[in-house]
């Protein structure tokens, strides 16, 4: 697996801590471009602004050209499709501040990686997320944060895992979803997605008097969930690597039913 051209994206913003970390460690070895959101867009999933479109602007992050959109991570990938004349060898989404587990579709980080493949921007993609302290999960990045705090972890750790994945050709996968636990570690486990969100995340807070709901910060640290899931491994302090395909097809079922015709 040879990598030369890499597209960086994510849902935290084009000047986010995570993208700036990747730029710092990759720019001297790879040809980088950034196409991401202008501002924090966590939790928007695969949303597209199909009704009204949006605007894009250009900038530079530590010497790397950046294009950023007024909309969603999905919009950013759609823009990249028409803005860049050559395909990329790889798309890296993240490093997101906050975990992206269970495989559901709320994550802008993960859906950007998948959409990039569906749009032929690259054949493979990797999504990086860090179970950072909950208070900064939805941090509004300004592009001037001190990266020294994050350089060794998750920064250098993500690069080591990236290099290992490239060396092993992604272990035969098109997409890898990687989550780093809050505390530094070098131990990695391959996982499946957790079965249910409440195995990791706390439920909504409800104020029945005002009919308001809010999403709580943080996780269920005390739970012991299903073995070999991303939630349980992450909670135990391991790096979780979940092999993925870029769609939700049940391949075995499709193969069994392919070509079958039924009458209603």
Residue showing tokens 């008097």: 209
To the nearest whole percent, how much of the chain has pLDDT over 70? 100
Residue burial 181-194, b: 16+ Cβ < 10 Å; e: rest: bbeeeeebeebebb
pLDDT at 227: 84
The confidence score (pLDDT) of residue 201 equals: 87
Residue 202: which pLDDT band, with cuts at 50, 70 and 90? confident
Average pLDDT on 133-144 reads 91
CA dist., res. 199 & res. 208, Å (int): 25
What confidence category does residue 203 fall into, taking pLDDT thresholds of 50, 70 and 90? confident
- H-helix or E-strand spanning residue 158: helix 157-167
Q: How many CA atoms lie within 13 A of 48 on its CB side?
A: 11
Residue extents of the structural domains in the chain: 5-257
Selected from 3.40.50.10860, 3.40.1210.10, 3.40.630.30, 3.40.50.300, the CATH number assigned to the domain covering 5-257 reads 3.40.1210.10
Helices and strands in the chain, H and E counts? 7, 11
pLDDT range class, residue 199, cuts 50, 70, 90: confident
- Bridge-based pairing of strands 212-214 and 205-207 is antiparallel
Residue 122, pLDDT above cutoff 90: yes
Name the band, by pLDDT with cuts 50, 70 and 90, for residue 63.
very high
């Amino acid at each position: 697996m040879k990598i030369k051209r890499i597209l960086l994206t994510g849902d935290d913003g084009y000047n986010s801590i995570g993208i700036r970390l990747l730029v710092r460690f990759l720019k001297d070895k790879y040809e980088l471009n950034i196409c991401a959101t202008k501002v924090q867009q966590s939790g928007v999933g695969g949303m597209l602004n199909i009704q009204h479109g949006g605007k894009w602007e250009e900038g530079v992050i530590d010497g790397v050209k950046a294009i950023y959109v007024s909309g969603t991570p999905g919009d950013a990938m759609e823009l990249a499709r028409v803005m860049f004349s050559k395909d990329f060898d790889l798309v890296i989404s993240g490093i997101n501040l906050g975990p992206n587990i269970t495989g559901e579709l709320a994550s802008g980080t993960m859906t950007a990686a998948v959409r990039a493949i569906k749009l032929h921007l690259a054949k493979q993609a990797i999504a990086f997320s860090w179970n950072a302290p909950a208070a900064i999960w939805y941090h509004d990045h300004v592009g001037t944060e001190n990266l020294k705090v994050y350089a060794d972890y998750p920064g250098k750790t993500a690069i080591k895992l990236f290099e290992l994945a490239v060396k092993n050709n992604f272990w035969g996968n098109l997409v890898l979803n990687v989550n780093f636990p809050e505390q530094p570690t070098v131990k990695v486990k391959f996982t499946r997605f957790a079965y249910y969100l409440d195995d990791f995340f706390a439920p909504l807070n409800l104020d029945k008097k005002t009919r308001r709901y809010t999403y709580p910060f943080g996780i269920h640290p005390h739970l012991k969930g299903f073995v070999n899931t991303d939630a349980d491994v992450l909670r135990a302090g391991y790096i979780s690597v979940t092999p993925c395909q870029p769609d939700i097809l049940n391949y075995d079922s499709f193969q069994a039913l392919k070509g079958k015709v039924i009458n209603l």
